[in-house]
Structure 1
């Protein structure tokens, strides 16, 4: 009897949450309010109105708000004008003042249509119903929170919780890093959902993402056997980005970010990929080439070489000058003001700041460091070191140093 009464009470509460219109004729039903919000979001993208777009987002979801700001900036520049669509296929209650809507999202790029379906969560606030991010499952421990889009990712979420927590501790020992806020991780069960959640221009080869102030985002490996080692290493890669962003005030050059992430993903924690598993390089690229390339616009093979080249340069700097000096470089970079733009939009200025930081700490220009790197590489090659174990990737013509 108590169970029946409890069930009746829950249904009554949900019906109230779903039907506040009865209290005020001017207040739309929650499902109608959600549909209106979704259309507002669609119209804001197609009109390029960022303020209108961000008004839809839950104001207390700070990480999501920062992510959506960057998402919007990318979308309005990338997609075919006026092609963004969001359709509500269904709305259902999750609990009082929280709804779950099934969304079909699509856009066109160069005439080709891309679409994805997902569940979006809406919550009632003092300002009305607001978009509160995807309808994630959640687990947490300490200052790490893992969100995941599918119950089948629960095991990977548990692995992520452990790996990210240990990586944060390891970086505290190396660089005295204490995260500015709880470290959020978001796991996605489908690559296209991941890609469209990060930003619409993200290349299809990407499987992980982190940018300053955002959650670590990663594609789950539902169809992959023996996934734990590569999954864990990838998470360390993304935690490294978060650490470097915070220790430098998000002022590290792109190559420095990727070099550090590639280096530590195989060295930070025991039991992950070993250094011998790293992709080797045929010859070092000119430093100016690393500075000039935009990783996200490279084809997959060239992107892989960019990662390998950045890692090789970072490894040289660590082995020659040590982590203490690298920490000093981070500290100098942190003195610069943060630029409130996406990483790709500030490459030239971050290159300039990074050059100045290395010159201040090491007393050498990047061209001098480049010559040291190339000289050491040639010496290693003459001893039979540094030669690729297997040539998996083609070298980009014209990018290697003579």
Structure 2
């Protein structure tokens, strides 16, 4: 027996259905607005527990990134924070893309920061949680590219090709590279790259990565630019910091330059003539006392990174090609740091670990190592 629904009854039900859907959609928007408000509260008040409760639980790498991001926020002075919703778009029954505008003043100098970005909110029970920025996805053999929707696909494909070339350079030179797919997040907006990784740094930068995290890159708007050197640099950070998170700043940067940036570029800053041996006739103590989070110009950063890379070259030249990696592996003996790295808080401890590892692997104390370095670089004049 067929049941027939009267046409008039069906017609009467449709407005009710539409009204119910509108009410449900409005409730979702209210819930997302409340989630954004809670984000602003956590950011402003430095409430890490609240902040972590607002993150979608499905992506461990993303949650680790955000946990460290909040550690950096806690190390910063933040004033006049404003966060507003500019638009919401329902992508599916489970997801919304929400465009946010954010501004604040940071540090003792009250430097203004302002950024606009699209965040993905995903349903979790009765809540709507932050599921990272709204990224598109492109995959290659060793990489998963996640990119802002304003990026051109041709640029994303170009980065993927450069990434595979960088992977081969690092695997050959350092002797290891990530075999699981590495996530690379591509940012069209360089300020958003800083806002999404380490807000305490006073300069804009080209890339960022930490143990257990994705690699984050600025998608430079220059079709002639090669990303190989930058990607190789960040890949070395990823593989060395996975082997041991106990790398002080100068040693981590030296490894990334010697086994990543320099071979991908084709030369070091010393070999290319940017710097002379005399520029590097500085003690290891100079590297140790250089705060990379305080530098605000490229020249000082290049001198620091260039010298650090050549010190690692010296290690390999004098004590065996695998000496730098043996030191990295020796650093696994100490408890592994998991919170967000801040130079002023963590680096002295990590430099102490490095001194102990050098003594263990090379049978030299830091004074002897420093003297050997100065003699080696001085002979290159």
Smaller-chain TM-score range?
0.7 to 0.9
Unaligned runs of 5+ in 2: 1-16
Paired with 2:325 and 2:202, the residues of 1 have a C-alpha distance of: 31
Equivalent residue number for residue 94 of structure 1: 91
- Equivalent-residue separation in structure 2 for 1:374 and 1:55 (angstroms): 51
Q: Following the alignment from structure 1 to structure 2, what is the Cα–Cα distance between the partners of residues 137 and 30?
A: 23
Q: Deviations over 1:209-266 (max 9, x none)?
A: 11112211111111x35212xx22111111111111012x211121111011111234
In the alignment, is residue 273 of structure 1 matched against residue 285 of structure 2? no
Q: Secondary structure at the match of 2:335?
A: coil
Deviation for aligned residue 1:28: 6.6
Residue 91 of structure 1 contacts residue 101 of structure 1 at CA under 8 Å; is this kept in 2?
yes
User: Distance in 1 between the 2:175 and 2:380 partners?
Assistant: 33
1:1-400 correspondence to structure 2 within 5 Å: 19=21, 22=24, 29-81=27-79, 83-109=80-106, 110-126=109-125, 128-173=127-172, 177=176, 179=178, 182-222=181-221, 224=222, 226-228=224-226, 231-247=227-243, 249-269=244-264, 272-275=265-268, 276-277=271-272, 279-281=274-276, 282-300=279-297, 301-343=299-341, 344=343, 345-381=345-381
Deviations, residues 98-146 of structure 1 (Å, cap 9, x unaligned): 1101100111124443211111111112362111111111111234211
Compute the displacement of 1:326 (Å). 2.1
Is the Cα–Cα contact under 8 Å of residues 123 and 131 in structure 1 kept in the other structure?
yes
1-structure distance, mates of 2:261, 2:111: 38
C-alpha displacement of 1:347: 0.4
Q: Map Cα deviations across residues 301-325 of structure 1 (whole Å, 9 max, x no partner).
A: 2222111111121111122223322
What's the secondary structure of 1:297's corresponding residue?
coil
TM-score when normalising by structure 2: 0.85
Three-state SS of the structure 1 residue aligned to 2:202 is coil
| Distance in 1 (alpha carbons) for counterparts of 2:51 and 2:60 | 15
- Contact (CA 8 Å) 2:358, 2:366: kept in 1 or not? yes
Counterpart for residue 7 of structure 1: none
Contact persistence 2:312–2:324 (CA under 8 A):
no
Q: Distance in 1 between matches of 2:203 and 2:352?
A: 30
Contact 1:89 1:102 in 2 (8 A): yes
Q: 1:251–1:353: 8 Å Cα contact kept in structure 2?
A: yes
- Give the TM-score normalised by structure 1: 0.81
Give the RMSD, CA atoms, in angstroms: 2.5
Query: 1:15-48 CA distances to partner (integer Å, 9 max, x unpaired)?
Result: 99x95964xxxx9722221111111011012222
| Partner Cα separation in structure 2 for residue 266 and residue 113 of structure 1 | 32
Answer whether contact 1:164 1:239 (CA < 8 A) is retained.
Answer: no
Q: Provide closer, same or farther for how the CA distance between residues 92 and 150 of structure 1 changes in structure 2, counting only shifts above 3 A.
A: closer
Q: How many residues align?
A: 355
Evaluate the alpha carbon distance shift between residue 324 and residue 296 of structure 1 in structure 2; reply closer, same or farther with a 3 A threshold: same
Q: CA deviation at 1:57?
A: 0.8
Q: Greater shift after overlay, 90-99 or 280-289?
A: 280-289
Which has more radius of gyration?
Answer: 2
Of 346-355 and 298-307, more deviation after overlay is shown by: 298-307
8 Å CA contact 1:167, 1:268 repeated in 2: no
Larger deviation: 164-173 or 94-103? 164-173
In the alignment, is the contact (CA less than 8 A) between 2:61 and 2:214 conserved in 1? yes
Corresponding residue SS for 1:341: coil
Name the SS for the 2:321 alignment partner: helix
Deviations 1:268-327 (A, max 9, x none): 45xx43344373242322111211222121121222211111112111112222332222
Q: Is the 8 A contact 2:165 2:228 kept in 1?
A: no
Cα distance between partner residues in 2 of 1:142 and 1:366: 42
Moved beyond 6 Å, runs of 4+: none
Tell me if structure 2 keeps the 8 A contact 1:79–1:107: no
Provide structure 1 residue ranges, at least 5 long, that are not aligned to the other structure: 1-14, 382-402
